[in-house]
Chains A and B, each alone.
Chain A
Amino acid sequence: MPPEHKFLYGIPFPGDFLVGPDRVVRDKRFLPDYQHRPSASQVIFRNFGDDGRGNSVQVDAGPLDAVISLSTDRCFFGQEIAVSLALRLKPGWHVYGAPLPDNYQPLELTFQSPIVAAQSLELPPARPLLLPAMGQTLPVYEGEVRATGTVGVKWSPPPEAKSLSSVFGPGMEPGFYRIKGTLRFQACSDEVCEMPGTIEFELPLNIEAGVPAAPPEGAA
């Protein structure tokens, strides 16, 4: 293989190890997809929790309020960042978990943006609650609900890989984006059951341009 084509010598796999003070591996994660990889903020979030460096938005809808946060305010195309949801319900109120009959709305947090390629949210287990008026037992959340997930930002070929444009197209432009999100829920109390609610919000995210490769070892 000609040495000038080092681009073709391999695609390292992004991953991380959490090692204890006794050098025993406590956790690890490697991704086989070269186009998507965790951001540093997501790795830190997953292992140590939210450090408060990302943008967040607070929403309010009567019986509940919620804070939705990203793990960072900036990343590169193709990176995965963490998202957290901290929802608080007024005493006596609940929202529904899943699974539910068709005519109910479970708690959902989703993002809609041209730069979002994948997303996930892991909600805690909901508590079964007998609703005597309806004769049904349904999964509900009460009090405080905390959930975490990921937002995968779309991959875009870097400027130095122009030859990949025949496969992936021209790519996307780095810059400032507003990621639209939607929180869906249905809040009920012992006395009243509200219609399914939807709160739309935006979270800013700066997509940074790629950084130039480090000079080869020994270069002046």
Chain B
Amino acid sequence: MDAKTKADILLNTMEKMASGKLKPEDWRAFVQAQNDGMRSGLEIGAKAPDFTLPDHNGVSRPLAELMGPNGALLVFTRSAGW
């Protein structure tokens, strides 16, 4: 899906949400546009880079610091509430 098509779908969704006229088919198109090009990163067996990212308190945490003796479980949540 090209960038213009995706932007048009997103803007259409935004306008219909604002006017209360959003229909199920609009929402499905929106989700499909969001899912387009989905990638989930490293595959099983690949080696993770030694990245550093901010934690939930904004403190920078290198992966090595999160590692326990058996490794680490990295969880990516969509949101805490919904």
Chain A residues within CB distance 8 Å of chain B: 1, 5, 8, 10-28, 30, 32, 34, 37, 40, 43-44, 47, 76-78, 155-158, 161, 163-164, 166-167, 209-214, 217
Tell me which residues across on chain B come within 8 A of A156, comparing CB atoms. Answer: 82
Q: Is B23 an interface residue (CB 8 A)?
A: yes
* 7 tightest Cβ-Cβ pairs between the two chains A and B: A210-B81, A158-B82, A30-B40, A163-B17, A20-B71, A211-B81, A17-B74
26 chain-A/chain-B pairs, Cβ below 8 angstroms:
A1-B10, A8-B13, A8-B30, A17-B42, A17-B73, A19-B63, A20-B70, A21-B68, A21-B70, A23-B49, A25-B46, A25-B47, A25-B48, A30-B40, A34-B34, A43-B73, A156-B82, A163-B18, A163-B22, A164-B17, A164-B27, A167-B24, A167-B27, A210-B81, A211-B81, A214-B56
Q: Are B78 and A14 in contact (CB under 8 A)?
A: yes
Give the number of residues in B that approach A within 8 Å (Cβ atoms).
49
Min distance, Cβ A45 to any Cβ of chain B, angstroms: 12
- Shortest Cβ distance from A30 into B: residue: B40
A8 to B50, CA, bound (A): 31
* B46 CB contacts on chain A under 8 angstroms: 24-25
List B residues 9-57 near A (Cβ within 8 Å): 10-11, 13-14, 17-18, 20-24, 26-27, 30-31, 34-35, 38, 40-50, 56
Residues of A within 8 A of B58 (CB): 217
Interface centre among B10, B21, B67, B80 (most CB of A within 10 A): B80
User: Which residues on A sit within 8 Å (CB–CB) of B71?
Assistant: 18-22, 26
Chain A residues near B56 (CB, 8 Å)? 214
Q: Quick one: closest B residue to A46, CB to CB?
A: B73
Give min CB distance, B1 to chain A, whole Å. Answer: 14
The answer, among B34, B42, B63, B81, for a CB contact under 8 Å with A11, is B34
B29 CB, min distance to chain A CBs, angstroms: 12
Please give the residue numbers on chain B whose beta carbons come within 8 Å of chain A beta carbons, in ascending order.
7, 10-11, 13-14, 17-18, 20-24, 26-27, 30-31, 34-35, 38, 40-50, 56, 58, 63, 67-82
Among B58, B68, B74, B82, max chain A CB count under 10 A is at: B82
A39's nearest neighbour on chain B, judged by CB, is B77
Q: How far is the CA of A144 from the CA of B72 in the complex (A)?
A: 32
Bound CA–CA A214/B67 (angstroms): 26
> Looking across the interface, which residue of chain B has its beta carbon closest to that of A47?
B73
Q: Which residue of A lies closest to B9 (CB)?
A: A8
Bound-state CA distance A209–B81 (Å) is 7
- Chain A nearest CB from B28 CB (Å) reads 9
Bound CA span A78–B77, Å: 12
Which A residues are in CB contact (< 8 Å) with B82?
A: 76-78, 155-158, 161, 210
Given contacts A14-B78, A164-B22, A212-B81, A21 and B67 within 8 Å (CB-CB): yes
